[in-house]
Amino acid sequence: MARIAAGADHAGVHLKGVLVAHLRELGHEVVDCGTHSADRVDYPDFGEAVARMVAAGEAELGLCVCGTGIGIAMAANKVPGVRAATVHDVTSARLTREHNDANVVCLGERLIGAEAAREALDAFLSASYEGGRHAPRVAKIDALLPSER
Ligand code: RB5
């Protein structure tokens, strides 16, 4: 069982709730970083909260939900050590764990149904990083410097 940080904006709060309940039923420990209501909030705040927990080793994995799963992934990926991936189905969820060693999975409540999201999350959790030929590529991702402004 894993310790998983979960976060969402207002557009993902319902699906987050469904998935957090599912994870807890499976026996995982979930740290819910919010949001907790449908009041409008900014998705980068919750992507950052999840990502910082993962980067600090306070959570093994992260789950992020926003309307598309894209913006919150962009925010999470700004935190060094985090590899956040937006997934849409079982296959993309499995492959990003196996090939990219993704440590944060991102879903879009406006784009995917709850059942498909649950299946994708299960696939993400069941898969393992393959290493091997993927290792130098993942190392290159991690070695990229933050963009300068
Ligand atoms: C919020 O309206 C929406 O923009 C956000 O949830 C997300 O889809 C951004 O990527």
**pLDDT tens-digit map of 92-107:** 999 999 999 999 999 9
* Pocket perturbation via mutation, ligand 1, pick of 35, 43, 112 by most ligand atoms within 8 A of CB: 43
The C-alpha atoms of residue 113 and residue 118 are separated, in whole angstroms, by 9
- Whether cis (ω within 30° of 0) applies to the bond prior to 35 is yes
| 33 is annotated as an active-site residue | no
Q: Is the pTM of this model over 0.95?
A: yes
**pLDDT per residue as tens digits for the range 109-120:** 999 999 999 999
The rounded Å distance from CA 42 to ligand 1 centre is 8
Ligand 1 neighbourhood includes 9 CB (under 6 angstroms): yes
35 lines ligand 1 (CB under 6 A): no
Dist CA 137 CA 4 (whole Å): 25
Q: What is the C-alpha separation between 15 and 124, in angstroms, rounded?
A: 16
Q: Is the CB of 48 under 6 A from ligand 1?
A: no
**Per-residue model confidence (pLDDT) at position 145:** 78
Q: In what order do the strands lie in the sheet with 104-108?
A: 29-32, 3-8, 61-66, 104-108, 84-86
Confidence of residue 147 (pLDDT cuts 50, 70, 90): low
CB 7 within 8 A of CB 33: yes
Q: What is the mean pLDDT of the chain?
A: 97
